[in-house]
Chains A and B, each alone.
Chain A
Amino acid sequence: MIEVRNLQKSFGGHRVLDHVNMRIDAGESVVIIGRSGGGKSVLLKHLIGLLHPEHGEVLVDGQNIVPMNERELIEVRRKFGMLFQGAALFDSMTVAENIAFALRRQRKCSEADVQATVTEALELVELPGTENKHPSELSGGMRKRVGLARAIVYRPQILLYDEPTTGLDPVISDSIDKLIISIGQKLNVTSVVVTHDMRSARRIGQRIFMLYHGKIYAEGTPEEIFASQDPIVHHFVNGIAEPRQHLLDDI
């Protein structure tokens, strides 16, 4: 279970998160939506301690991770897996080495077990036979799949996804969405997905949080959010830009 209390974060005097409060229950699949540059990824990175807030608490299974140092956070992070926006694969390693990284660092499995787990993870993300390729040889969608395999290989309890479908074509996006849903079901993990892809949000999320001007502006099931008559929520989920009337008048 993750709980965020009064989280505040600024960059260069600009407040990105302003007293954010949210609660994510174990096994739940949550989507955070909001405008580009609105602080969604910043909020996600606070959940795993990659960023430190100016104020507020982040509780992971009841443990406040904000005052922890980098070494103390290592234990907490073993509960997490994260898929980055650009996949963030280690470009000096092959696909297999990327996926096996955490297992080899833990030194708990034999090399044969590591190889078998890597093969299994690649089958799960539908990329069998790519073990010896380097990240530079993969397409954007394939990199995200490898990033996902790397995040799930050590069976984390919580999976964080930072814009998993951004920059991908609709077909690949659809396959990534299905993958996120199937992994959530098969591994019974808590999923937190940051996206501004409304189709993905509707399909993946059991609950949706909308971040607006640094605050949680709306919260509800996908049905509630998509049926909302609030103008800000309605414009966002339907992709309607606010007309700049004064500019139109000038024209």
Chain B
Amino acid sequence: MRAPDPARVARDWLRGLGEFTLLTREAFVSLFKRRPEFKDVIYQLYFIGVKSQSVVLITGAFTGMVLAAQTYYQFHRVRMDTATLAVVGVGMCSELGPVLCGLMVAGRVGAALAAELGTMRVTEQIDALRTLATHPVDYLIVPRLMSTILALPLLTIESVAVGILGGYGLCRMYLGDYATYAWDNMTKYTNVSDLITGLIKSVIFGAIIAMVSCYKGMTCGEGAVGVGRATTEAVVFSSIAILISNFFLTLVLTRLLS
């Protein structure tokens, strides 16, 4: 097998980035200028939001409990047991809640969006839409983008809430009645800005998941192989984009909101 030509790989990558940027611009212009079909948005909200509940709740609860357990073991050595839940609160609100929620939704919803649009592309359904005087961005991407942007902050709030409750349950197990002090410390050290940071991140992660997955689906290669590859790439690229953008968002939002 011949090694790929680096110049060609770079050219293809740059072209892809350009196409993605133009598609994103088109989708956001359409989102603000044109009215998407209400029933499509509701259906996508149900699919993206309601059907992701179990995944997000389980992830949030166990992450909160693991974080509480690890923090308790370390803090117990220096007799700071009652600070455990404060770490869980700040960690879940600003980092773990939005990031893990984003990654789980990228896995579940990103794959489904890419597979659905990819199949529509290879069976010429997207071309059929265009012949019926319908812009695919208006009809296919905008309802998905809007629903993901709306659903992800709500899912993040749920994830954070069950994470903190899980952590509190663990604190009660280890600290007994002293868990009340841990709860009090959490409310003292977890600021509204931590929650706002998490919510802003979740909106941006929602946009990343929707746009990357829709782009991969709309530009997928021919046949089952093309759809399979688009699905994998949608999940991988969404996840990587979430992790990288999270770093920069943390830097920017911490400075802006603190």
Contact = CB atoms under 8 A, between A and B. Distances in A.
A50 B137 CA distance: 15
Contacts of B125: 88-91
A94 to B, nearest CB: 15
Interface stretch (B12-20, B91-99, B126-134, B207-215): B126-134
B123 A88 contact: yes
Contact of A80 (B120, B131, B135, B139): B131
Contact of A102 (B120, B123, B133): B133
B131 A77 contact: yes
In this complex, the member of B124, B125, B133, B139 whose beta carbon has the largest number of chain A beta carbons within 10 angstroms is: B133
A86 B133 contact: no
Interface residues of B, number: 14
Interface string A88-99: 111100000000
A186 interface: no
Contact of B127 (A50, A73, A75): A50
Contact of B133 (A45, A74, A90, A91): A74
A80 B134 CA distance: 12
Interface in A44-93: 45, 48, 50, 70-71, 73-75, 77-78, 80-82, 84-86, 88-91
Contacts of B131: 48, 50, 77, 80-82, 151
B133 A88 contact: no
User: What is the size category of the interface that chain A forms with chain B?
Assistant: 20 to 34
Contacts of B133: 74-75, 77-78, 102, 105-106
B132 A84 contact: no
Contact of A84 (B120, B128, B137): B128
B135 A101 contact: no
Contacts of B128: 82, 84, 88-90
Given A90-B125, A91-B125, A102 B132 contact: yes
Contacts of A102: 132-134
In this complex, the member of B124, B128, B130, B134 whose beta carbon has the largest number of chain A beta carbons within 10 angstroms is: B128
Contacts of A88: 123-125, 127-128
Contact of B132 (A45, A73, A101): A101
B106 to A, nearest CB: 23
Contacts of A105: 132-134, 139
B130 A50 contact: yes
Contacts of A151: 131
Contacts of A89: 125, 128
A150 B125 CA distance: 13
A102 B137 CA distance: 16
Contacts of A71: 135
Contacts of B137: 70
Nearest to B119: A91
Contacts of B123: 86, 88, 91
A85 B134 CA distance: 20
In this complex, the member of B120, B130, B134 whose beta carbon has the largest number of chain A beta carbons within 10 angstroms is: B130
Contacts of A85: 124
Interface of A: 45, 48, 50, 70-71, 73-75, 77-78, 80-82, 84-86, 88-91, 101-102, 105-106, 150-151
30 contacts: A45-B127, A48-B131, A50-B127, A70-B130, A70-B135, A70-B137, A71-B135, A73-B130, A74-B133, A75-B133, A77-B130, A77-B131, A78-B133, A80-B131, A81-B131, A85-B124, A86-B123, A86-B124, A88-B123, A88-B124, A88-B125, A88-B127, A89-B128, A90-B120, A90-B125, A90-B128, A101-B132, A102-B132, A105-B132, A106-B133
Interface of B: 120, 123-125, 127-128, 130-135, 137, 139
Given A86-B123, A106-B133, 16 more contacts: A70-B135, A71-B135, A75-B133, A78-B133, A80-B131, A81-B131, A84-B127, A85-B124, A88-B123, A88-B124, A88-B128, A90-B128, A91-B123, A102-B132, A102-B133, A102-B134
